[in-house]
Structure formats: C-alpha cells, structure tokens
Chains A and B, each alone.
Chain A
Amino acid sequence: MKKQNIFLLTLTAILSSAMIFTSSCGGSGEGAKTDSTATAAVANPNGIGEYTHVELSATLNEEMIAKGKGIFELKCSACHKLTDAKLVGPGWLGVTKRRSAEWIMNMTTNTEVMLNQDPEAQKLLELCLVRMPNQGLSGEDARSMVEFMRKNDGQ
C-alpha cells in the first residue's frame, strides 16, 4: 500500500515537473507560440488557438463524416471510445454538447498549448494523467473530426 502511495507521488512529481518544464520553456518548442507564463484564469469557451469562429451547418456533411471516421480509426481510437466511457482519454459521447467546435479544433491542432494553458484541458489532464499527443491533424482534418463527433452525438 505504502509502495503504491510512493508510486503515485512519484507519478505526480514527474507529471508536475513535466508540466512546469513545458509551461516554462518559452524558447524553441512549439509551446512557445503564445506567452505561456500568463495563466488563463477565465476559461475561453473557444480554447486557445487559431480557431475562433467555426461555421456549423444544420445538416451534417457526409463527406466530412467519412473522413473523420477514417482519422478516428487511425489516430484517435487507441485512446478514445465513442461511448461515454473513459479509456486513456475521455469518451466522446456528448463532447459536442460539452465543448464548442472551436475548442475541439484547437485541442486537436494546438494540443501542447491547450494542455499547458486552457483550464478545461488541464482539468482533463489531471483526470487522465496522460498528455494527449498532438496527432498532426490539419485544420481540415480537425473540422472533419467535429462533424464525425456531431454524428456520434446523434445531431
């Protein structure tokens, strides 16, 4: 039992030092795109990144859904389920109701900065304990993911 506690402590230490490291690198990493020393006290529902306004149509775009499904199977399904169950990361069911399309697209394309600065992303990191990897999605890819998620949410 004690051993487990030590392990947890070590984990927390590793994780928090990793977070301190990335949030203070400011030099050459991708995390340096925005000023990382300022902590965003108030959550912006859009998250942090280049997507500030995404137009969503009332009817779903089947082409984007198909593309999003392909990306999900290749790059996301290892950690996310389409149900509400947590695997490595949170389950996706209902995600388009909890998060804005802008937030989802920023999270999937500007992952490092979001994990370092966005309060909602940080809450998820504390819950899951594994930093979501940047899976190299283009803007178009990320938009397709949103469409796929909307479909999964029965919209």
Chain B
Amino acid sequence: MKNYINYVAATLAIATLTQCKPKSASQVVTGDAASKVYVAPGKYDEIYNFVSGGFSGQLAVYGLPSARLLKVIPVFSQNPENGWGYSEETKPMLNTSHGFIPWDDLHHVALSQTDGLDDGRWVFVNGNNTPRVARINLKTFRTEEIIELPNSSGNHSSPFLTENSEYVIAGTRFSTPLEGNNDVPISTYKENFKGTISFIKIDPTSGHMSVPFQVVMPPFNFDLSRAGKGPSHGWFFFSCYNTEQANTLLEVNASQRDKDFVVAINWKKIEEYAKANKGRVTTSKYAHNIYDDKVHSATSTISDGIVQFDAAELKGMIYLMPCPKSPHGCDTDPTGEYIVAGGKLAATIPVFSFSKMLKAIENKEFDGEFAGLPVIKYESALYGEVPKPGLGPLHTEFDDKGNAYTSMFVSSEVVKWNIKDLKVIDRKPTFYSLGHLMVVGGGTKHPYGKYLVAYNKITKDRYLPTGPELAQSAQLFDISGEKMEMLSDFPTIGEPHYAQAIEASKIKDGQVRFFKIEDNQHPFVTKGEKESKVVRTGNRIDVYATCIRSHFSPDNIEGIQMGDEVYFHVTNLEQDWDVPHGFAIKGAAMAELLIMPGETCTYKWNPDRVGVVPFYCTDFCSALHQEMQGYMRVSPKGSSVKLVWSLGDFSSDAPVAPAEKK
C-alpha cells in the first residue's frame, strides 16, 4: 500500500514537473462529445475495433465510436460461455507440445493487409506465454488456426505483418538455451542463451500458417516490431532491450546502457537465402491446430523440425541501429520512410530514416559490431528526434495527415506531433498511464484517421468502484481536428494491449449467417430427425441428436449405464441467422455448448450416478424454449435396461393427437 502511494506520488510529481498533470474529465471533455459517440438504437457503428483481451486470452470486438462491446472472440482461453475449448470439436485448438493448455496472454493484434491496406479477411493475434500465433476468420469471427512456435519463450514481439500478408513475424522476449544444450546454469546466459525470430508464412488463399524458418539471434529481449511498407517493404524493424544480456534483476541490470537497438532485418534477402540454403533442422516439436467449417471440427498435428539460421551467417541482411534507452514501440509511418522508436526511459523520440539507413549501409557508416552484427552509426540513420515529447514514450501510430501520436506512459498523455518537422502539436492527458494506442487504420499506408483510442494500464477512479479488481480502461479521442478531443471512457476486458480498427464496410457484408446443413460433413452429423439415433460401442455411447425450435430428437434415452462414456453430438437443423441452440446436462463436468445453425457440436459426459438426468437448451430460442428439454436414464453397470430412444409418443408419419394445449 505504502509502495503504491509512493508510486502514485512519484508519478504525479513527475507529471506535475512536465506540466502535463491530468486534468479532471470535466475539464477535458467538451460539449458536443456526447453527440459524436451517440449511435442511435438500431444503427451501426462506423468502425470495428479489435482489442486484445490481455490476460483473458481472448479478443474483444467493439464498435466505434459508441464503444459498445459486440463480441468476445475466444482464442487462447477456454470459454464456458459457448463451449470453446470444452467441446470435442474445439479442444484440439488449445493443444500444444505441452498438451492441452486452457489459457494464454494475448497482447497484439494485426489485421491482414493487401498492398498495405487492411483487407478485412483475417486478424492475427499472439499468445505470449506459451508462444503461439492465432488467425481469426473475419467472416465467422472465429479462431480458425493456432500455430505454436518452438524455440520461443515469451512471444511478445508478435504478430506483425508484411504489407501483403506474406509473413507474420514472431520474436522472443525471453532468450533461453536452445535444444541440445538446454540444461545449463542460468548464469551462463551470455554464452548459452539465444533469442529467435520466427517467420510465419501465410497462404494467400486459405490463410494457413507455416514456419519455414527461424533466425537465431543474440540473447536480447525482442519487444515489438513493424514491417516496412512502400519503399521499405521487404524489411522488418524490431525494438529490443536488455542488450546488457542480464539474466537477473533486469529492472536495473537491463537499463545500464545508454542505447539499445532497433534491429533492421531484410526479410526478402533472408527468404532468398532460406530458399537456397538448407539451414540447420532442429527436432523441436510444435502443435499446429486448424478448425475446418466443413467438418465443424479442429485437428491438432504435432510437427517437428524447424529450419534455423544463425544471425551471424546472414551477412548483409541484419543491422543494428542504436536507440536510446530500452526502446519499446517501433513503428513505421504510412510512407514507409520513417521508423519511430519509443525509448521507455528516454527523454526524446528518435525518428529513423529508411533511406538514410540504406545509404549508411552502402557507405559502411558503422560503429563496429555487436554480437557479430554491424552497428550503424546513430546519426547516420537518424532523421531527427522529437524533443521533450513527455515522459516514457511507448507506441506511435499515424493519421492520414502526416501526424504521429505517441503514448507517454509515465506522464500519462497522448502527444501529437508532425513527422516532417518533429514539432509537438498537441497533448492530451489520459486516465491513467496508457500503454498502447491506436488510430483507425494507423498501421496501414493510408490511415483512416478520425478516431484514436488510448488503452490504459491503470483505471483507479474512472468508474463506479468494484472492489480491489477493476475493469481496464480505454479512452476514445476525436483526432479529426488540429487539437485532439476526448470523447469517452469505456471499460475493456482483460488488459488491453494493442488493438486495431477497420472500417465496418470492409467486414460487415461478408458475414456467414449460418452454416448450410447440406454442406455439414461432421462425422457425427444427423441430417434430419429421421436419422437421430443412439449407438453403443462397448462402453462408448454416441447420441446422434438434432435440435430445432423447440425440441431435441431424441429427448428420452434409456439404457445408459454407469461407466459409459457418452458423446452427445448435437446438430442444429435451423437454417436462419441468429438461432443457436444451447445444450447442457445436469452434473456434467463441462461447459454448455452453443450450436450455431447448421453446425454439429459434441458434448462429452461421464455419468457419475444412477438416476434420471435432465438436459435442456440453454439459449432462449422461441416462446417454447422452456419446453426444450429431455431426460436420460442411467442404470447400474450390467443392467438389463435396453438401449432405447424416442421423441414424442409417435412415429414420424403416424397420426397423433393434436399437441396438448397449455
């Protein structure tokens, strides 16, 4: 508590010193802010905003400018709300070389691009803890693929995308000893530890990911990255810290050197090199999980063998640019000429020039080598520095008018500056201590601009208090004018790291509304009630069930025995938008299933006691939803009760009495 007070006091003191003391909200919000965020009932937002859910492991989708939460897309964490990671079909998506893992820490978001513009096909996100990259299909808003990255620890510098989605890059935060030599003293960090940068190739049609090669790097902590664009297309720029190569008390020991590096990597040359050279093949195992909408199921394949190249052997492909004190963000502007790095502990924002960098390489303006890699002279690649921008610059995004917006963590503000003359134009406080920020289309060649969102690390007093744990906080700004205008505050899920946003028009009309039942190739699909049945194979029971408003077929099952393993394969026969059915069994150690129209999902249940067990539809589906239920009878093992199933007291075509009136 005392420490916290000291910390807050120190933050405030620093803020006061630099004259950017956060004002109260009433001071910063102007009169017409409300009308700018008001989206009338029934009207759509202008923008989709994909926001990392941080330690929730999921991806949140907001509409802007209203900041209404539209969906939480489950990615790396199990989601009992819809059965993600619980159903038999989705469990393989969370498989890794370590086995099934129910959680991860999702940090960064990258929308797929074509020619440097967001194309609205996919969004890529990273799992930080157990290194993975996921691809989400924006036609279904579902995670469709997850690939694990071997020889990687702390997949922070990921996922960053080239301008035609050729590659997604993934660099390591933690350097570790690599396989074959991994049981070593931690104190041998400098000799034995290595970082890696994985190149994930994207199939342009299917979006499927593969890892053709990895580059083994010196043991720095790679932090963030951006691909070049336009003239700098073909390059990646990484920020890194801990060039001190410390393995303990990094807070102090990794902050010793005056400058760390921005690493410039010519990926096109490395790609050519990789095609012509065999490289070293490791035996590292990694999981590759793919969800297929035709079979409504995922498969997980454990692959092994990754091709590696040592950075030192890639002569003329990797260069180091000194960058003041522990750079964090590393962002390329829309023209591709400028690379902006934010030194967490620096008092300026250095802006590198891509053309100057090329010239410096050509003229060999080097300051020697570091870990076998040439170091370009700081001044030789530097375009200029933004003087006194604020404290703790982290991330920079860009608008459509040649301006940059940098988040200042320590002084808790957004600073707007001009890329050409490097002069500060405006600064606005955020509440409190923002990390990432994003401009709509801010990572593209032609930003959409208009809105900026700051994602804050500290929430404190912004909302009605909810005990010790608070929602995270984001703030929406209108950046269409010369001065930024704060429009609204909104809480977010998990801890929002990076986010990206795209015009709704690029996504909304391509949505899948339901899955065609005719195309359902699930091995346990039930195409019509006539086909519903129950099959016993040893102690395995497969229930081929259907659902439609508002009943299950079958809804009475007898002959299940203790010790049986019951697989309830539920096919939703509906063929209309927004008619999922839910499914749950009393006492099952499971989350519910939500079954979309035309889809088949499987619920695994191990009966744990003799008796009659109810099941029901969990998603309100019609006026008679409350009637959508059934029973299963569980008998002792070896019981003579026959396996029978039924729906209603009639066969499908026999005349029956009219349904009883309630």
- Chain A positions within 8 Å of B, measured between CB atoms, are 4, 7-8, 11, 14-15, 18, 25, 27-28, 30, 73-75, 77-79, 81-88, 111, 129-131, 133-137
Write the chain B residue with the least CB distance to A78: B548
Contact A82 B575 (CB under 8 A): no
- Specify which chain B residues have a CB less than 8 angstroms from the CB of A86 in the assembled complex: 658-659
Contact B549 A84 (CB under 8 A): no
A74 to B571, CA, bound (A): 11
Contact A78 B44 (CB under 8 A): no
B525-566 CB contacts (< 8 Å) to partner A: 527-531, 546, 548-551, 553
CB < 8 Å: which of B43, B529, B576 contacts A78?
A: B529
The verdict on B662 contacting chain A, using a C-beta distance below 8 Å, is: yes
- Specify which chain A residues have a CB less than 8 angstroms from the CB of B623 in the assembled complex: 11, 14-15, 18, 129-130
Contact B528 A75 (CB under 8 A): yes
Write the chain A residue with the least CB distance to B517: A74
B39 to chain A, nearest CB (A): 12
The verdict on B624 contacting chain A, using a C-beta distance below 8 Å, is: yes
Write the chain B residue with the least CB distance to A72: B528
- Specify which chain A residues have a CB less than 8 angstroms from the CB of B595 in the assembled complex: none
The verdict on B333 contacting chain A, using a C-beta distance below 8 Å, is: no
Contact A129 B573 (CB under 8 A): no
Q: A8-B662, A133-B548, A133-B575 are in contact. Are A73 and B530 (CB under 8 A)?
A: yes
- Specify which chain A residues have a CB less than 8 angstroms from the CB of B549 in the assembled complex: 79, 88, 130-131, 133
A11 to B624, CA, bound (A): 8
- Specify which chain B residues have a CB less than 8 angstroms from the CB of A8 in the assembled complex: 662
The verdict on B638 contacting chain A, using a C-beta distance below 8 Å, is: no
Interface segment, B173-181, B407-415, B647-655? B647-655
The verdict on B42 contacting chain A, using a C-beta distance below 8 Å, is: yes
CB < 8 Å: which of A7, A82, A88 contacts B653?
A: A82
Contact A74 B528 (CB under 8 A): yes
Write the chain A residue with the least CB distance to B549: A130
Contact A129 B624 (CB under 8 A): yes
Contact B550 A88 (CB under 8 A): yes
A15 to B624, CA, bound (A): 10
- Specify which chain A residues have a CB less than 8 angstroms from the CB of B575 in the assembled complex: 75, 133-137
B575-592 near A? 1/0 per residue, CB < 8 Å: 111010000000000000
CB < 8 Å: which of A84, A133, A136 contacts B655?
A: A84
A-B contact count (CB 8 A): 92
- Chain B positions within 8 Å of A, measured between CB atoms, are 42-44, 514, 516-518, 527-531, 546, 548-551, 553, 573-577, 579, 622-624, 648, 652-659, 662
Q: A74-B518, A75-B528, A136-B575 are in contact. Are A131 and B656 (CB under 8 A)?
A: no
Write the chain B residue with the least CB distance to A79: B548
A85 to B530, CA, bound (A): 18
- Specify which chain A residues have a CB less than 8 angstroms from the CB of B529 in the assembled complex: 73, 77-78
- Specify which chain B residues have a CB less than 8 angstroms from the CB of A131 in the assembled complex: 549, 622
Write the chain B residue with the least CB distance to A141: B518
- Specify which chain B residues have a CB less than 8 angstroms from the CB of A7 in the assembled complex: 662
- Specify which chain B residues have a CB less than 8 angstroms from the CB of A28 in the assembled complex: 42, 44
A11 to B623, CA, bound (A): 6
Write the chain A residue with the least CB distance to B526: A74
A45 to chain B, nearest CB (A): 26
Contact A83 B43 (CB under 8 A): no
CB < 8 Å: which of A15, A111, A136, A137 contacts B514?
A: A136
Write the chain A residue with the least CB distance to B621: A130
Contact A27 B655 (CB under 8 A): no
- Specify which chain A residues have a CB less than 8 angstroms from the CB of B514 in the assembled complex: 136
Contact A78 B579 (CB under 8 A): no
A83 to B652, CA, bound (A): 9
- Specify which chain A residues have a CB less than 8 angstroms from the CB of B530 in the assembled complex: 73, 77
A137 to B622, CA, bound (A): 21
Contact B528 A77 (CB under 8 A): yes
- Specify which chain A residues have a CB less than 8 angstroms from the CB of B42 in the assembled complex: 25, 27-28
- Specify which chain B residues have a CB less than 8 angstroms from the CB of A81 in the assembled complex: 652-653, 655-656
Write the chain B residue with the least CB distance to A8: B662
A18 to B624, CA, bound (A): 13
Tell which of A4, A15, A135 has the most Cβ of chain B within 10 Å.
Answer: A135
Contact B622 A130 (CB under 8 A): yes
A131 to B578, CA, bound (A): 13
Write the chain B residue with the least CB distance to A4: B662
A28 to B509, CA, bound (A): 11
A82 to B546, CA, bound (A): 19
Contact B573 A74 (CB under 8 A): yes
A77 to B654, CA, bound (A): 12
A28 to B623, CA, bound (A): 24
Write the chain A residue with the least CB distance to B658: A86
- Specify which chain A residues have a CB less than 8 angstroms from the CB of B551 in the assembled complex: 78, 88
Q: A77-B528, A83-B653, A87-B659 are in contact. Are A135 and B576 (CB under 8 A)?
A: yes
- Specify which chain B residues have a CB less than 8 angstroms from the CB of A85 in the assembled complex: 655-658
8 tightest A-B CB contacts, nearest first? A136-B575, A73-B528, A78-B548, A135-B575, A74-B528, A134-B576, A83-B655, A133-B576
A32 to B43, CA, bound (A): 14
A104 to chain B, nearest CB (A): 17
Write the chain B residue with the least CB distance to A70: B528
A/B interface sample: 20 pairs, CB < 8 A: A14-B623, A27-B42, A27-B43, A74-B517, A74-B527, A74-B528, A75-B573, A77-B530, A77-B652, A78-B528, A81-B655, A82-B653, A129-B623, A129-B624, A130-B622, A133-B574, A133-B576, A134-B576, A136-B517, A136-B576
Write the chain A residue with the least CB distance to B578: A29
Contact B528 A130 (CB under 8 A): no
B511 to chain A, nearest CB (A): 12
A75 to B546, CA, bound (A): 11
Write the chain B residue with the least CB distance to A86: B658
- Specify which chain A residues have a CB less than 8 angstroms from the CB of B579 in the assembled complex: 133
- Specify which chain B residues have a CB less than 8 angstroms from the CB of A79 in the assembled complex: 548-549
- Specify which chain B residues have a CB less than 8 angstroms from the CB of A82 in the assembled complex: 653
Write the chain B residue with the least CB distance to A76: B528
Contact B653 A135 (CB under 8 A): no
A111 to B579, CA, bound (A): 14
- Specify which chain B residues have a CB less than 8 angstroms from the CB of A14 in the assembled complex: 623
A116 to B524, CA, bound (A): 36
Beyond A82-B653, A83-B655, A133-B576, list 7 extra A-B contacts (CB 8 Å).
A25-B42, A75-B517, A77-B530, A77-B652, A87-B648, A130-B623, A135-B575
- Specify which chain A residues have a CB less than 8 angstroms from the CB of B517 in the assembled complex: 74-75, 136
Write the chain B residue with the least CB distance to A30: B577
A55 to B243, CA, bound (A): 81
A27 to B44, CA, bound (A): 10
- Specify which chain A residues have a CB less than 8 angstroms from the CB of B648 in the assembled complex: 87
A79 to B551, CA, bound (A): 9
B418 to chain A, nearest CB (A): 40
